[in-house]
A and B are shown apart, each in its own frame.
Chain A
Amino acid sequence: MNRFALAFRLPIIVWQGLFFLGPLFFMIAMSFFLVKNYRMEEAFELKNWARMLTRGYVWDSYWYTLGLAASVTVVATLVAFPAAFALAFRVSEATRRWAIFLLIIPFFTSYLVRTFSWYVILAESGVINVGLGTVGLGPYTLLNTPVGTIVGYLTLLLPLVVILQTIALANIDRNLVQAARNLGYPPGRTLFAVIVPLAKTGLIIAALFCFILSFGDFVAPYYLGGSKPPTLPILIIDTTKSGQQWPRAAVVAVMMMLTLFAIAATAIWLAYRKRSAA
């Protein structure tokens, strides 16, 4: 690597070192610290790990968070795909650009504000239940349920997944799609045998982003899910609030990081895996 190339790469290396690796190592080290009189003391003790890993509620939160993030990833991927497909293959370049611009607009406003706005829609006296009431249905409890949480996650993530999927699909070589059609593939087979495999990397990366962001999100499960049951980010907050147990919260955070590393590594392996030759 020449000096010029290194100079260009240096900012991101320094940035990642200072603001990712540094804090990560500190967090891992902190998980071994102790808290005495609300003050953290440097130590190398396994007490926090032993305590947190043997608590049933920690594992309940873990599996619940994992399940919720996986569910929203599946839902977001399936809901986003038809829209992304239409934007990639059925509309003009200009329309696609406008659509992507419109999909970005929600990010201009605070996620917290967007989440709170769902109160008006999901409440028992809210828009949905009032609508259902006119045809004699409901009211249904939507707030403070996993449904509310998933709606909150989708508020944040659906536009992002649509954008990433659209970019992945739009970059497919149309000649290959056309060739499949010319060779007599029906539309369904073209989709699953040609389009999806060609866009696989982008589709998996979109799903991965969805999983990572929902796994670590605090706002939706707290404000729309009623913290019932708490997800891991809520557990982190609870742990720090009571007795300022930052080291125990760090244990939960490290658990989350390890999980995300494992899932991200698997996803990237799947995304870039080459098909074995026949």
Chain B
Amino acid sequence: MSERNPSSGTLVTRRRFLHGTAAAVGGALAAPYVVSRASAAPTELTMLAWYGHGEPDIVGAFEKANNVKFKPKYYAGGDNMLALIAQSPPGTYDVILSDAEFVQQLNAAGYIEPLDPNDYPFDDMLHDDFTKFPGHWDGDKLFSMMVRFGHLGVSYNTKAISAEEATSYKCFWKPEVKGKVGHFDWHLPTLGMMSLYNGNGAGLWDLDDKKWKAVQKTTMSLRPQVGGFFDYGGTFNSLKNGEMLAMCGIGDWITGVLQKDGAPVASVIPKEGGIQWTESYCIGKGSSKAGIVKKFIQYMLSPEGQVKSAQMAAYPANCITKGGRAALVAADRAEAERTNQVDGNPMDPIALIKNGRIHYRNIPVKQSLEDWNDFWSEYKNA
């Protein structure tokens, strides 16, 4: 059958009619769905961070509650982070997680937006230092918000090194662990530890020529003990399978994950002192989504966010707010106790900072990072 359309004069076949009708009906039925899907499309937030921060265990609940979707790009090391930002146009990253010692450089290069201090819970901080963390402020202007921290010290296999021996970096030179001391392959934490072992204390990063040479000499003396230099995965593996019995340059952020897995490893802050790594959130320069990023940073500083950070699957950290600590104790007392985040514990990370046993990680003051890296390459080749 065919009919002629009187207005256009074109031939309308039954098949064309059915096709047209089906398309019209289908379109009408699908329209609300398409419209609702379009209106519900999540806002994409680009994130530059260490591995794990954009994973569902951290951002999943926030994504669901705020209809956003994180698109993380992970880096390894502050240098790497700075380079990625330097090579990208403004606005590429909405939220940037930085190691605290690199915030100053991010700010100096104009890569981050200022923050409003009134937006964040400074009155709830566990330690006064956290309210004015070095490098995070430029005068009265806030540029980065600290969210978590952890400590680096002696990480060891509890079957090979006793808890008493682990109270000093000296245990790395123990004859029984010759060839079994590993290094996390980054010069900054290891050389910082060697500086502490040399007795430089709070001046561990501010080394004159004589002290710098002494640090190099101490480090070189450790070389015969060294069994390998490892990245994140290699560090995990070698400690877990017992290839390495002690690891220099790390802390509970690695052994904590392994402990949960049943490995006989631990991390302690030795008597010479430990180093604090600190992670802070910034809003990327030129981000068009600063409002939702601010909300995300607030979420990470909320008790819920702090608990998620403390329990992070990739690597655990300590809470920085009183509310966060209380929530962690309530939600996961075992983890709070394992990490000494219980008020009154002598090894409470906050108490260690207050006692002067912890020093914030920094970059070398009198040498350049290149000088340290050059030595690191020599050391690896020795």
A141 to B77, CA, bound (A): 30
Whether, in the assembled complex, A119 has its beta carbon less than 8 Å from a beta carbon of chain B, the answer is yes
Chain B residues within 8 Å of A39, by CB: 86-87
B326-382 interface with A by 8 A CB criterion: 369-370, 373-374, 376-378, 380-382
Chain A residues within 8 Å of B241, by CB: 119, 123-125
Binary contact track A226-254/B, C-beta < 8 Å → 1, others 0: 11111000010011011111000000000
A240 to B370, CA, bound (A): 11
Whether, in the assembled complex, A143 has its beta carbon less than 8 Å from a beta carbon of chain B, the answer is yes
Whether, in the assembled complex, B227 has its beta carbon less than 8 Å from a beta carbon of chain A, the answer is yes
B245-264 interface with A by 8 A CB criterion: none
Asked if B109 and A37 sit within 8 Å, CB to CB, the answer is: yes
A48-77 interface with B by 8 A CB criterion: 55-58, 60-61, 64
Q: Of the candidates B82, B228, B243, B382, which one forms a contact with A123 in the assembled complex, judged by CB atoms under 8 Å apart? A: B243
A125 to B76, CA, bound (A): 30
Interface-central residue, A55, A241, A245, by most chain B CB under 10 Å: A241
A245 to B238, CA, bound (A): 29
A244-B79, A244-B83 are known contacts. Are A227 and B370 too (CB-CB below 8 A)?
Answer: no
Chain B residues within 8 Å of A243, by CB: 79, 369-370, 373
Whether, in the assembled complex, B201 has its beta carbon less than 8 Å from a beta carbon of chain A, the answer is no
A39 to B382, CA, bound (A): 31
Interface-central residue, B87, B376, B377, by most chain A CB under 10 Å: B377
Whether, in the assembled complex, A144 has its beta carbon less than 8 Å from a beta carbon of chain B, the answer is yes
A265 to B373, CA, bound (A): 35
A37-B109, A124-B242 are known contacts. Are A57 and B86 too (CB-CB below 8 A)?
Answer: no
Q: Of the candidates A64, A228, A241, which one forms a contact with B228 in the assembled complex, judged by CB atoms under 8 Å apart? A: A228
Whether, in the assembled complex, B112 has its beta carbon less than 8 Å from a beta carbon of chain A, the answer is no
A55 to B243, CA, bound (A): 31
Q: Of the candidates A55, A119, A222, A229, which one forms a contact with B374 in the assembled complex, judged by CB atoms under 8 Å apart? A: A55
Asked if A241 and B242 sit within 8 Å, CB to CB, the answer is: no
A19 to B18, CA, bound (A): 53
Asked if A226 and B87 sit within 8 Å, CB to CB, the answer is: no
Q: Of the candidates A38, A123, A242, which one forms a contact with B86 in the assembled complex, judged by CB atoms under 8 Å apart? A: A38
A194 to B162, CA, bound (A): 65
Q: Of the candidates A57, A141, A230, A242, which one forms a contact with B369 in the assembled complex, judged by CB atoms under 8 Å apart? A: A242
Whether, in the assembled complex, B90 has its beta carbon less than 8 Å from a beta carbon of chain A, the answer is no
Q: Of B34-42, B93-101, B151-159, B229-237, which binds chain A? A: B229-237
Asked if A230 and B86 sit within 8 Å, CB to CB, the answer is: no
A226 to B76, CA, bound (A): 18
Chain A residues within 8 Å of B228, by CB: 143-144, 225-228
Chain A residues within 8 Å of B374, by CB: 55, 57
Tell me how far the C-beta of B244 lies from the nearest C-beta in chain A, rounded to whole angstroms: 8
Chain B residues within 8 Å of A60, by CB: 381
Asked if B79 and A119 sit within 8 Å, CB to CB, the answer is: no
A37-B109, A123-B243, A228-B228 are known contacts. Are A242 and B373 too (CB-CB below 8 A)?
Answer: yes
Tell me how far the C-beta of B380 lies from the nearest C-beta in chain A, rounded to whole angstroms: 5
Asked if B229 and A228 sit within 8 Å, CB to CB, the answer is: yes
Whether, in the assembled complex, A111 has its beta carbon less than 8 Å from a beta carbon of chain B, the answer is no
Closest to B231 in A: A222
Whether, in the assembled complex, A185 has its beta carbon less than 8 Å from a beta carbon of chain B, the answer is no
A55 to B79, CA, bound (A): 22
Q: Of the candidates A144, A225, A229, A235, which one forms a contact with B243 in the assembled complex, judged by CB atoms under 8 Å apart? A: A144
Asked if B242 and A226 sit within 8 Å, CB to CB, the answer is: no
Chain A residues within 8 Å of B82, by CB: 38, 244
Asked if B187 and A228 sit within 8 Å, CB to CB, the answer is: no
Closest to B87 in A: A39
A241-B80, A242-B369 are known contacts. Are A227 and B185 too (CB-CB below 8 A)?
Answer: yes
Chain A residues within 8 Å of B83, by CB: 38, 244
Chain A residues within 8 Å of B377, by CB: 55, 57-58, 230, 235, 238-239
Whether, in the assembled complex, A81 has its beta carbon less than 8 Å from a beta carbon of chain B, the answer is no
Asked if B227 and A228 sit within 8 Å, CB to CB, the answer is: yes
Chain B residues within 8 Å of A229, by CB: 380-382
Binary contact track B314-331/A, C-beta < 8 Å → 1, others 0: 000000000000000000
Closest to B244 in A: A144
B residues lining the A interface (CB < 8 Å) = 76-77, 79-80, 82-83, 86-87, 109, 179, 182, 185, 187, 226-231, 234, 237-238, 241-243, 369-370, 373-374, 376-378, 380-382
A residues lining the B interface (CB < 8 Å) = 37-39, 55-58, 60-61, 64, 119, 123-125, 141, 143-144, 222-223, 225-230, 235, 238-239, 241-245
26 contacts between A and B (CB under 8 A): A37-B109, A38-B82, A55-B378, A57-B378, A60-B381, A123-B242, A143-B228, A144-B227, A144-B238, A222-B231, A225-B228, A226-B228, A226-B230, A226-B234, A228-B227, A228-B229, A228-B380, A229-B380, A229-B382, A238-B380, A242-B373, A243-B369, A244-B82, A244-B83, A244-B86, A245-B370
Question: Which 5 A-B residue pairs are closest in the complex by CB-CB distance?
Answer: A226-B228, A242-B373, A144-B228, A244-B83, A227-B229
